[in-house]
Amino acid sequence: MDAKVVFLSSIVAFAAAPSAVGQGVPPSGGVMVPPDSPLVPPDLSSGSELERYNDTYLDLHGGDLDEALVPFSLFPNGSEASLALASAFGLSIAVAAGGEGYTINAAHKIGVPGIIAEVSGNGLWGEESVGEMTAGVERVMKHLGMIPGPVTPAAQERPQVVRMWVPPAPVSGLWYPAQELSEPVAAGAQLGEIRDVFGKVLATIPSQMPGFILYRLTSLSVNKGEALLGVATPMVEK
């Protein structure tokens, strides 16, 4: 299989052919991506042409600087090819993402399956988290036929598929979460509260969904409209 894949990090993106990636050699088409530039090789006139060069898209994340998380993947809801990528990558939780604003959704619209992989958090890295991300990329490359293997097997054959509900902060203030990562919550349970600098409660955040805490904001200060946390609810598979 002549598989091609885009790997995206916060700094470098490249379009890779098996001959280059399989030998550990960065392809000559590797490009630095300034924040205000589109993710396309230099010879493309627009991002809409990306599907001519790539058939798989991986968006690799380490969580935001103010965000703690349980490792998870996101894939476009309804895309079986993308769910297969998430299964191959090997993180134990896969979020069925819908709506606009996701790079994977844009890729899905032009027929390119993809996932976002989230590992670590709070701007931290270590050998374990880097190894987890690297092993996931290798498993995807094996899944696509880019490398012969062997690769480190995933801990499970298929991830737990969930939907995620993310409440925004209704006011600006100081955020005091009431739940820990992975902690189960019931619908209506208090997830935390926002107070002012004198301790007055400005808002309480009840959960609209049952599930468990997938990620949460770890900074004390929060702005109105900012995402506070993610509640993951397991989906019933048909």
pLDDT at 15: 33
Domain finish residue from 161, 187, 210: 161
The per-residue pLDDT for 109 is: 85
Give yes or no for residue 22 having a pLDDT over 50.
no
pLDDT class of 38 with cuts at 50, 70, 90:
very low
pLDDT-based confidence at residue 102 (cuts at 50, 70, 90):
confident
Same domain flag for 56 and 121: yes
Whether 177 is covered by a domain: the verdict is: yes
pLDDT at position 10 over 80? no
| 148 and 195 assigned to the same domain | no
pLDDT of residue 63: 84
Q: Give a yes or no: residue 238 inside a domain.
A: no
Taking phi over 0 as left and psi of -120 to 50 as alpha, with beta for the rest, 123 belongs to left
- pLDDT of 86 over the 70 cut: yes
Q: According to the model, what pLDDT value does residue 215 have?
A: 95
Say if residue 7's pLDDT is above 60: no
**Does 148 share its domain with 174?**
no
pLDDT, average across residues 24-29? 33
Q: Can you give the residue range of the structural domain that contains 202? A: 166-230
70 with 147, same domain: the answer is yes
Question: What is the pLDDT averaged over residues 47-62?
Answer: 72
